Structure 1
């Protein structure tokens, strides 16, 4: 084998986690190869011109939660390569009666908006916001970028302080139950749940089960929130790739990994679909979904029975996203902006749902394999906040609607419903933003799991998170960075902190691999044991 085909480590998949993992370990001085099946890198960090030239649409990742304050954004020097916009108005909800709720990062503005519906709810939010801001900064974000502690040790450390004990108590409650208990106005409750549940797509998880992560507090904090990558989400991938290459990393695209080579019970490299063999002297790391990694690339016969039981028990989300992307002459102008002029400036909108029951009905439909009978969706017009995402004076907008993977039992029905569902979404949107006329809409592109599960084959059955975010698959119950095969690591969204754009799995796994190789990391990895021990009542 030629020495050029031999590396210290091979990382499979050039999405967020692979790029971050590669950036750290290449800068550590290791010879790292990043291999990617597709021509393009970035995975869900995808920005494309799908309607008309100059209109940039974020087909997967739209905005990123507190990215510029993550440890890896700072460590990898990304502020010099990537710019972010922080919206003042993050969540908004127009109503059919012409009223609207708007959540600002400014507490007083948010309280004033809530008070127009119920003054008691505003005062309750003031109290809970103070708790949530502290818990987010001192617990939630610290655990997000640390290898999870075992349940007993975590409980013991958090139990040493009042804030830790309160946080633990909240993790054991159902978020929907808490919201229902605390607030009075139905529409206030709906927007809190919308904020908590990522466009309503995981509402049943939000309402029906507890979350050991403590995600409930996300309904109440304001300071920490979503940011918008200037020019489109792919620019984050570009910045990460630039940092990886500058550190000496090697990248090969159009390189589909056929199998992970196992010799003597250890992972020693990869074999590509074109027959090439690439050797890894010290490790192989996969950022792919668990079944593609272990069944397709390893093979069940090389894995222990206990691990196969865990693999067979791994669950994916039971819904997919139906995306409608618009090129517009002018941005959506909501009728309810007369009630609150800040409505048109928000990052995310809950459109078409004003009761908890309507949200639940939609999810009941999806669980039964039906397209929801009531049209309701998350939406946004990113070009209002970032003009670089559209030609001068023009705009882009998108809507995400939850639908099943196989409507009425047949996955091909996603194609059959495209036209009618796209039309229904635009018509419903127009009820709230009357200027979304046919003349205003210059182009339309519909993107569903029928397409994206083929483009990004990690997203099995349309699961954008690559694994259900239920309590039995998060924190210490995540799928694990180390695997039964020595030298083989898992660094994708099945591991803590799980799906969505966080970079957490790549960041955490970089520290584990460095330590396993006996290296002294050039950065200071976060340690949950140390971070949580700082919580005191003094």
Structure 2
């Protein structure tokens, strides 16, 4: 650990994941002398890439894609491409492979809807036309989504988004039932093919909509459809994105300290005075945290506590429950060859392929099991990034990743997670081999199960503000703040606006 060279800063940002890096860079650019403190030895947080199995097999266990390039300002503002970030936009973005070798359902990237039309039409010509029409309408929401994501949540912003939806979707947006149905009910009303509905159910869950919660038809129509087909893959894994942010921060003059854990945030008379690292006090009137909200608000403050409204909001937050995502990695002698690919060879080059789901009912069961805190049957979305980026695996080999949903990480003990880590990959491989018979124990050189890190997958909602707290000078900028998870940088940018009063246009 190297301690910061100074004991006085205008602002301290805790946590050098992508939100922490972005906020620190913007603050420094705005004239705030900024210190960024990271507990780990490396930069990146959830946007990391490492080698958990064998040398040369590189895996990104948390974030894997960039999907907000149409709206996020950080690519241009921070010159990330000039700082080494390169991406690949796969033609085949989402798909589902069936164990019984039915034709797959494939979604092509934005602007190439004719490919999605062909794939959907194998199951239903009507559904194909419906999907392409809805996706093209959703594309017109880009300005409104940029506005609603990159400003603190407000009724005015929501109104702008609803007006854009009305213009884009016409009679659908005017339906009096909109906002009263679940995402599954909306999908069932518009699509007849069970195969297509299965994939759309999965994509609704993927992008944060509940299949059964009333009102999430709005989320599906106004956000999920816009997100579908927009992913880019960073060359070199997600670490290359974090590295470009790191270079941007250094270029602006941010002071970065790694292998340094903040011991406390010192509070005097209800106001932040600074932080303590390894017994050393670092003075700063502004402290912004991108780490866990409970640690930030309950564990770190020393010398003062939260106001009543924050205590109530945090209590409600802690009572809430959700699901968590665990990542698996596989070192392979060859890429998967799916049985369903006999109908469409593009399946074998799909950047995200769902396995273990054979019907809409199987997806609904999966969501119910998670809501009840039960361990679901092995199912996952699979990716083989070495198909697009050979640098992620040794020559002639491949690396695959899988994302599987589990109950809230806190609902399971450390012993539970250890038992899952020891057995889950074998069970998932059995499911994978039914869809792709060449995925056998002979094909898998090594595998790894990443026990979920403590991370916020729920948003702490507080009336009138998202980023400031009842302790003057203490701010939040992590995924517990609006708009939540995803590699968009909006949590950081919105926190910057609240800290400085500078508004993004």
* TM-score, structure 2 normalization: 0.90
Task: Give the corresponding residue for 1:525.
Answer: 504
Which of 498, 506, 518 aligns to 2:492? It is: 506
* Contact 2:13 2:290 survives alignment (8 Å): yes
Question: By how many angstroms is 1:211 displaced?
Answer: 4.3
Q: Is the deviation greater in 158-167 or in 375-384?
A: 158-167
Structure 2: where are the runs of 5+ without partners? none
2:81 counterpart SS class: helix
1:92 pairs with one of 69, 87, 95: 95
Matched residues in 2 for 1:250 and 1:213: separation? 43
Contact 2:130 2:190 in 1 (8 A): yes
Alignment of 1:168-207 (within 5 A): 170=178, 173-198=181-206, 205-207=210-212
SS in 2 for 1:378: strand
Cα displacement (A) at 1:78: 0.6
- Residues 318-366 of structure 1: per-residue CA shift (max 9 Å, x gap): 3233322111111111121111011011110110102121122223333
- CA spacing shift, 1:68–1:253, aligned 2, 3 Å: farther
Given the alignment, which residue of 33, 54, 61 partners 2:35? 33
1:331 is matched with 335
| Preserved CA contact (<8 Å) 2:116 2:132 | no
* 1:340 match: 344
- Structure 1 equivalent of residue 433 of structure 2: 430
Question: For residues 195 and 53 of structure 1, what CA distance do their matches in structure 2 show?
Answer: 33
Moved more, 158-167 or 415-424: 158-167
> Which moves more between the two structures, 85-94 or 211-220?
211-220
CA distance, structure 1, for counterparts of residue 370 and residue 156 of structure 2 = 36
Structure 1 residue 119 corresponds to structure 2 residue 157? no
What is the CA–CA distance in structure 1 between the aligned matches of 2:287 and 2:185, rounded to whole Å? 44
Call closer, same or farther: CA 1:299–1:172 in 2, change over 3 Å. Answer: farther
- Mapped to 1, the partners of 2:412 and 2:250 lie a distance apart of 45
Shift in CA distance, 213/499, structure 1 to aligned 2, threshold 3 Å: farther
Residues 59 and 393 (structure 1 numbering): CA distance in 2 closer, same or farther, change over 3 Å? same
For the structure 1 residues 93 and 289, does the alpha-carbon distance in structure 2 shift closer, same or farther, using more than 3 Å as the test?
A: same
Question: CA 1:302 to 1:211, structure 2 compared with 1: closer, same or farther past 3 Å?
Answer: same
8 Å CA contact 2:484–2:491 kept in 1: the answer is yes
Say whether the 8 Å CA contact 2:267–2:304 is kept in structure 1: no
1:241 equivalent among 240, 246, 258: 246
Deviation at 1:49, TM superposition (A): 0.6
Contact map agreement 1:145 1:504 (CA 8 A) in 2:
yes
Which position in structure 1 is the counterpart of 2:20?
A: 18
Aligned length in residues? 493
Q: Would you say 1:445 and 2:453 are equivalent positions?
A: no
- The aligned counterpart of 1:468 is 458
Q: TM-score, normalised by structure 1?
A: 0.85
Separation in 2, partners of 1:407, 1:263: 33
For residue 403 of structure 1, give the secondary structure of its aligned residue in structure 2.
Answer: strand
The alignment yields a C-alpha RMSD, in angstroms, of 2.7
| 1:297 matches 2:300 | yes
Q: 1:251 to 1:104 in 2, by over 3 A?
A: same
| Contact 1:171 1:216 survives alignment (8 Å) | no
* 231-240 vs 61-70, which moves further: 61-70
What does 1:183-332 correspond to in 2, within 5 Å? 183-198=191-206, 205-211=210-216, 214-221=219-226, 225-272=230-277, 274-280=278-284, 282-298=285-301, 302-315=305-318, 317-332=321-336
Query: In the alignment, is the contact (CA less than 8 A) between 1:26 and 1:248 conserved in 2?
Result: yes
Once the two structures are TM-superposed, the CA of residue 215 in structure 1 deviates from its matched residue by 4.5
Contact 2:323 2:409 in 1 (8 A): no
